[in-house]
Amino acid sequence: MKKINIFMAIGLVLVMLVGACTSTVQSDFSSGTQNTGTPQSSEGRVVFAVTDAAADMGDVTSVKVTVDSVKVHSETEGWVTVSSSQKTYDLLQLKSQGRQELLADAQLKEGTYDQLRLDISNVVVTDASGSHEAKLPSGELKINGNLFVEANATSTATFDFIADESIHVTGNGKYIMAPVVQVETKSDADAQIGNDNEVEIKGGSVRTNIKVGMDLDGNVGVNVRVPSNANITIDSSGIVKIGSGNAKSNTNIGVGIGTE
């Protein structure tokens, strides 16, 4: 009888131990701490910056560009809004100070994004006669390029506007801005942001480095732009004409360019 009692006691202890282990595993699984071997979704930091590399623009002393939003696109995520905070940048001031300024600092899901987009709502050019609203062929500056986001790493995207190639004066003294931009993206970079939103980028691997432009139809791409010597006029109905006599192309960009 004593031997039977001993075996019964040992069996009871084993049952209690197995039950405790099973309870622990179930508790861990229900709380999400159970390691199933499936990787969790990860994010990386992306810093977006704007600067300007314009040459001397004569009487033009300021080109203020208002950016309403910053977006990126991937095949898996579609369009993702990085920032919807409206900000205005004086491109010629950035040029004179030799600085890059913050567009957005965000966390994005890791992966490759194939398009970058700035939504621009307003451009104001200041010259010797005052401030003038410049019209954009399109408010969407949509650029094809690779932005590679890695988990727990920093990627960057820099939009270097070239204002002297972007701004055009029509034959009747109005301004059009058809952006020309040098775009560079990097992965595994070091990005520091100062108290005044100045961005300093060091190191990293270059993923995209292209110069794109916009034509009068709003198309954006490499080797696309409005020729610097184009004879552009805007009539009273808002029709943009290139060339003299019979226009080479006509594009309706809405209302005429006004003066503020």
Q: Give the pLDDT band of residue 196 (cuts 50, 70, 90).
A: very high
pLDDT at 17 over 90: no
- Of the given ranges (39-43, 198-202, 214-218), which has the lowest mean pLDDT? 39-43
Number of compact structural domains in the chain:
1
Q: Which of 14-23, 89-98, 118-127, 161-170 has the lowest mean pLDDT?
A: 14-23
Given a cut of 70, is residue 255 above it in pLDDT?
no
Residue 170 lies in a domain: yes
155 touches 190 (CB < 8 A): no
Answer whether residue 237 is part of any domain.
Answer: no
Stretch 165-180: mean pLDDT, rounded?
Answer: 91
23 part of a folded domain = no
Q: What pLDDT band is residue 29 in, cutting at 50, 70 and 90? A: very low
* Coil, helix or strand at residue 58: coil
Q: Is the dihedral of CA 191, 194, 196, 200 positive or negative?
A: negative
Q: Is residue 233 part of a domain?
A: no
Residue 51 structure tokens: 């600067």
φ, ψ dihedrals at 182, nearest 5°? -90, 120
Q: What local confidence, expressed as pLDDT, does residue 260 receive?
A: 31
Report the percentage of the chain scoring pLDDT > 70. 75
Q: Is residue 32 part of a domain?
A: no
pTM of structure:
0.78
Per the structure, the complete domain to which residue 177 belongs is given by 43-227
Mean pLDDT of 145-170: 96
Say what the pLDDT of residue 184 is.
Answer: 98
Domain assignment present for residue 236? The answer is no
pLDDT value, residue 181: 98
Which tops the pLDDT comparison, 36 or 145?
A: 145
Say if 241 falls within a structural domain.
no
Contact present, 178 and 168 (Cβ < 8 Å): yes
Give the sign of the dihedral formed by CA 144, CA 148, CA 186, CA 68.
positive
What's the mean pLDDT in 26-40?
41
- Residue 245 domain-assigned (yes or no): no
- Provide the mean pLDDT of the chain: 82
